Amino acid sequence: MLPIQSKKMMLPLAVCLMSLALSPVITHAEGMETGSTAARQAADQKAALARKAADRQKATEEKQKAAQAQAQETQKVVEEAPKEVELPK
């Protein structure tokens, strides 16, 4: 009767030992980033940098347009100013 009981105990014991042996590997693997996750994060970061660069370029162009408009306004005021100024005697 002993050999039958030992066979019945071997299966649950083996399952328990396998689960204990594999549990650190499973928990360790959950914390690691996979290649696709890292690639996605890198692509997101690259896109964010591209958007930031585009925003900077747009702001620079707007400043240049504002400076040109200011210069044209100043030029217009200078041209409309009287050419000769009479000094009091």
Domain for residue 48, yes or no? Answer: yes
Give the angle subtended at the CA of 38 by the CAs of 35 and 44, to the nearest 5°.
140
Domain for residue 80, yes or no? Answer: no
The Cα–Cα gap between 24 and 41 comes to: 26
Domain for residue 39, yes or no? Answer: yes
> Residue 53's pLDDT is what?
95
Domain for residue 42, yes or no? Answer: yes
> Residue 36's pLDDT is what?
80
Residue 2 phi/psi, 5-degree rounding, is: -65, -40
Domain for residue 3, yes or no? Answer: no
Per-residue pLDDT of the chain (89 residues; tens, 9 = 90+): 456 667 778 888 888 888 877 776 655 555 565 668 888 888 999 999 999 999 999 999 999 999 999 988 888 877 776 666 677 76
Task: Provide the number of structural domains found in the chain.
Answer: 1
Domain for residue 8, yes or no? Answer: no
Domain residues for the domain of 40 are 35-73
> Residue 65's pLDDT is what?
94
